[in-house]
Amino acid sequence: MPDAAAVFAAVFIALQIGHTVGDHWVQSSCQAASKGLPGWTGRLACGRHVLGLTLTKAAVLLPVALILGLPLSAAGLLIGLALDAASHYWADRRSTLAKLASTCGKGEFYSLGTPAHPAHPVTAEGTPAATLGTGAYALDQSWHTLWLGIAALVIAAI
């Protein structure tokens, strides 16, 4: 039987793989564009995204747990995945993470790569230039990674 540290590591890696696939391949364009909107339109889009994301994480974790013989409990899985889902929903509503970034003194970094940033990238014509990443995306993904670690710890420990 694997020790707790090995279980944590295997669960974290599986959740990280599931997160990356679920956040970038499974999430629909409509969910990505709408999940931060105010009201029920945004809440429902974000809820659908988090449901698909959580199912993707479970689909990746299940074969890893079975093949490696990981001693996971139903309670640990339920609590860990629920914590992760709730934290993901919270951050993906966007205004919540933006407020946290501002409160922590990361407001300028949050706007990095967007026209809202004072040194935003521009084209030769002086119009805002698209970038591959933003400060908001970096803070969003690091938030999710933190909670993947917490979820993996809960899943491995319970």
Give per-residue pLDDT as tens, 14-66.
Answer: 999 999 999 999 999 999 999 999 999 999 999 999 999 999 999 999 999 99
Determine if the pTM surpasses 0.85. Answer: yes
Residue 21 tokens read as: 């696939």
* Per-residue pLDDT at 133 exceeds 90: no
Q: What is the pLDDT of residue 17?
A: 98
Calculated CA dihedral for residues 104, 82, 51, 145, nearest 10 degrees? 40
Domain ranges of the chain: 4-157
Residue 71 tokens read as 């001693």
The yes-or-no verdict on residue 146 having pLDDT over 70 is: yes
pLDDT at 65: 98
**Average pLDDT, stretch 64-77?**
97
> What is the model's pLDDT at position 108?
83
- Predicted confidence (pLDDT) at residue 158 exceeds the cutoff of 80: yes
92-132: per-residue pLDDT in tens? 999 999 999 999 999 887 877 666 656 666 667 777 666 66
Rg (CA), the chain: 18
Per-residue pLDDT at 38: 96
Q: Which of 15, 101, 16, 93 is nearest to 49 (CA)?
A: 93
